[in-house]
């Protein structure tokens, strides 16, 4: 062994919510922290996703970090869902107010991370070849950050700009008066289309699987609403902590759709049709667990979607059929005028599933089996390799020398999404087999667990924390068991990223703990209270 001190106690990759939360909590615990990010600014996903219309789908006032009551009171949101610029300003505000910049190194890509058994330190290498050591290596790279670039013939021949929606040119892109093609029609396109269509000459969407689209119903933050929020922040934080998706939602008060009369059910569905994902959770408590209730909710959404689409042929392509898949087996997008945008003369929809699949991209556009469409710009809004993609994009090597990508070929195993067997002294914020939830809530819960585990290490003089293989096996089996009982398990038939079923390179798998974020947070608290039974703590022989 070596007694050399590492360069930092903790190295974190990613300067989004996780990176900033880790700086706060670890610094408070007396540790030295360095956060690296390849982006040119703080903000994580909000640095990369600058496409027109990009905004949060969680409501602003609980899509934020909660460690400082002062910050919660000082910051003012301007509307229900802030756009990427406002969210980005919020990140800079947090970094400024909490004096975090000295801990952050931007424009620095990490290209490898390797555990070193003799020292129990991690060796981290940057794209410039600089190396740094640390005792704790932590990923804050985010669960939806690694873009999926489809393999379409001729993609490199297109003469104009062609890029993934999450790699929007940082300097902006002048699409006014241009012909734009968008491949993909998930949450990103649902936000992007209505904004682009206002100034582009034309926008053509290449569409495969229909989505259940819920209305966002944007509204400004009034002084009265802000006052009410700021007077009740403790309750809002507690609501998030105790909600199955980490959201500050009310409950459905024990109501079940299947036990409610059709008239009353319709009345409740209508009354609560006020925007956001609230509708799914505040109407009836059985929509995501009972197939019949799920069909009732799906039919209501289908009817609402049809009301807003003028052209029945467009509706035929955009609106899911009840038998296609259950609501939430694919993550529903929130809509700010997407469906109405198809009534514009300059917006076109191409059904590439049943009518005219894409054959190739040419120098000037996209060729389908039926037509050639000419474009100045092509946007690939084709989604992400969720939960594991960022962790597999460069070699992260544990004790055995195996990388995470190699370990996760068949199954993406972890302990509660935060630790991985064979990777000591490493933590992941919201890794595979963590819940899918309002991310700042989950991130902060993970960071508190990680910080307390590190505090134990430091106060009790440990050098190594080893995730136990049997604990990883147990969590993986538990997560799979729950997954198999949910309607989300049907996501594999519609390429849901929530199961990695959108990847051509890998078989679908269980990526998400669907037992409820609140249940998961309880489990994390229990783990901490019991002294982290999933982990083995060791001292190196001196
Ligand atoms: P997505 O939901 O995975 O949608 C990708 C789209 O690309 C789908 O329509 C997919 O069709 C299509 N596609 C993929 N590969 C293709 C190919 N080879 N050829 C043709 N079409 C292809 O991705 P996303 O819209 O970027 O959203 C991903 C997630 O990011 C969201 O669900 C959400 O969690 C998050 N997000 C959040 C926000 C927010 O909160 N504000 C905004 C945007 C995104 P199929 O469906 O047929 O596979």
Please report the DSSP string for 62-105 in residue order.
GSS--S-HHHHHH---SBSS-BHHHHHHHHHHHHHHTT-GGGEE
d(CA 196, CA 110): 34
Q: What is the CA(170)–ligand 1 centre distance, in A?
A: 21
Question: Is the distance from the beta carbon of residue 336 to the nearest atom of ligand 1 less than 6 Å?
Answer: no
Question: Is the distance from the beta carbon of residue 186 to the nearest atom of ligand 1 less than 6 Å?
Answer: yes
Question: Is the distance from the beta carbon of residue 210 to the nearest atom of ligand 1 less than 6 Å?
Answer: no
Protein residue closest via CA to atom 34 of ligand 1:
331
Q: Do residues 64 and 24 touch, judged by C-beta distance below 8 A?
A: no
Question: Is the distance from the beta carbon of residue 150 to the nearest atom of ligand 1 less than 6 Å?
Answer: yes
Which atom belonging to ligand 1 lies closest to the Cα atom of 152? 18
Which of 43, 187, 506 has most ligand 1 atoms within 8 Å of its beta carbon, as the pocket-test mutant? Answer: 187
Degrees, nearest 5: CA angle 419-423-426 = 55
Please report the DSSP string for 106-167 in residue order.
-S--EEEEEEETTTTEEEEEETTS-EEEEEEEEE---SS-SB-----TTGGG-SS-EEEGGG
Q: What is the pLDDT of residue 4?
A: 83
Nearest to 159 by CA among 369, 361, 380, 382: 361
pTM for the full model? 0.97
Nearest to 247 by CA among 280, 273, 208, 201: 280
Question: Is the distance from the beta carbon of residue 383 to the nearest atom of ligand 1 less than 6 Å?
Answer: yes
Protein residue closest via CA to atom 31 of ligand 1:
187
d(CA 281, CA 260): 16
Which of 148, 186, 501 has most ligand 1 atoms within 8 Å of its beta carbon, as the pocket-test mutant? Answer: 186
426-453: per-residue pLDDT in tens? 999 999 999 999 999 999 999 999 999 9
The residues of the chain scoring below 50 in pLDDT are 1
| Alpha-carbon dihedral 78, 81, 84, 88, rounded to 10 degrees | 50
**Residue 181: phi, psi to the nearest 5?**
-110, 135
Q: What is the pLDDT of residue 334?
A: 98
Q: Do residues 273 and 279 touch, judged by C-beta distance below 8 A?
A: yes
Protein residue closest via CA to atom 23 of ligand 1:
383
Containing H/E element for 538? strand 535-538
Which of 54, 164, 352, 383 has most ligand 1 atoms within 8 Å of its beta carbon, as the pocket-test mutant? Answer: 383
23-65: per-residue pLDDT in tens? 999 999 999 999 999 999 999 999 999 999 999 999 999 999 9
d(CA 329, CA 527): 30
d(CA 178, CA 235): 48
d(CA 176, CA 194): 13
**Residue 20: phi, psi to the nearest 5?**
-70, -40
269-323: per-residue pLDDT in tens? 999 999 999 999 999 999 999 999 999 999 999 999 999 999 999 999 999 999 9
d(CA 180, CA 193): 10
Instruction: Express the helix, strand and coil content of the chain in percent, nearest 5 each.
Output: 35, 20, 45
Which atom belonging to ligand 1 lies closest to the Cα atom of 211? 46
Helix axes of 439-459 and 517-529: crossing angle, nearest 10 degrees:
10
d(CA 530, CA 449): 12
d(CA 276, CA 127): 40
């Amino acid at each position: 062994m070596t007694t050399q001190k590492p360069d930092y106690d903790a190295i974190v990759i990613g300067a989004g919510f996780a990176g900033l939360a880790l700086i706060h909590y670890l610094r408070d615990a007396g540790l030295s922290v360095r956060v690296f990010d390849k982006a040119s600014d703080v903000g994580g996903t909000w640095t990369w996703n600058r496409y027109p219309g990009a905004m949060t789908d969680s409501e602003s006032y609980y899509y934020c970090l909660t460690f400082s009551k002062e910050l919660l009171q000082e910051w003012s949101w301007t509307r229900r869902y802030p756009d990427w610029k406002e969210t980005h300003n919020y990140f800079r505000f947090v970094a400024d107010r909490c004096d975090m910049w000295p801990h952050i190194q931007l424009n620095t890509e990490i290209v490898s991370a390797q555990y070193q058994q003799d020292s129990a330190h991690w060796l981290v290498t940057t794209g410039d070849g600089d190396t740094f050591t640390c005792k704790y290596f932590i990923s804050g790279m985010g669960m939806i950050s690694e873009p999926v670039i489809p393999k379409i013939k001729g993609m490199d021949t297109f003469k104009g700009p062609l890029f993934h929606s999450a790699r929007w040119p940082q300097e902006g892109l002048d699409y006014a008066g241009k012909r734009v093609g968008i491949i993909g029609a998930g949450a990103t396109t649902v936000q992007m289309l209505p904004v682009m269509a206002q100034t582009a000459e034309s926008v053509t969407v290449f569409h495969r699987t229909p989505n259940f689209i819920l209305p966002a119903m944007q509204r400004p933050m009034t002084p009265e609403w802000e006052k009410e929020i700021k007077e009740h922040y403790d309750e809002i934080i507690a609501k998030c902590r105790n909600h199955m998706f980490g959201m500050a939602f009310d409950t459905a008060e024990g109501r079940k759709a299947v036990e409610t009369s059709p008239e009353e059910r319709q009345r409740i569905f209508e009354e609560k049709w006020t925007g956001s994902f609230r509708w799914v959770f505040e109407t009836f408590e059985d929509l995501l667990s009972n197939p019949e209730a799920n069909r009732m909710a799906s039919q209501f959404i289908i009817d609402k979607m049809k009301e807003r689409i003028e052209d029945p042929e467009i509706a035929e392509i955009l609106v899911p059929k009840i038998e296609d898949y259950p609501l939430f087996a694919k993550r529903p997008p929130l809509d700010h005028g997407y469906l109405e945008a198809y009534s514009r003369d300059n917006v076109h929809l191409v059904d590439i599933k049943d009518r005219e699949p894409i054959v190739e991209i040419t120098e000037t556009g996209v060729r389908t089996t039926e037509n050639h469409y000419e474009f100045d710009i092509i946007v690939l809004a084709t989604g992400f390799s969720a939960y594991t993609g960022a962790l597999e994009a460069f070699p992260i090597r544990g004790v055995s020398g195996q990388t995470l990508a190699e370990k996760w070929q068949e199954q993406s195993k972890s302990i509660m999404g935060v630790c991985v067997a064979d990777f000591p002294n490493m933590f992941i914020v919201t890794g595979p087999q963590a819940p899918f939830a309002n991310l700042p809530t989950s991130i902060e819960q993970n960071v508190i667990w990680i910080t307390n585990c590190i505090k134990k290490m430091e106060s009790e003089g440990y050098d190594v924390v080893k995730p136990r293989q049997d604990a990883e096996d147990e969590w993986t089996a538990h997560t799979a068991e729950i997954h198999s009982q949910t309607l989300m398990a049907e996501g594999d038939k519609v390429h849901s990223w929530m199961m990695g079923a959108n990847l051509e390179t890998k078989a679908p798998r269980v990526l998400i703990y669907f037992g409820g974020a609140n249940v998961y947070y309880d489990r994390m608290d229990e783990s901490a209270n019991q002294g982290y039974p999933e982990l083995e703590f060791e001292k190196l022989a001196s």
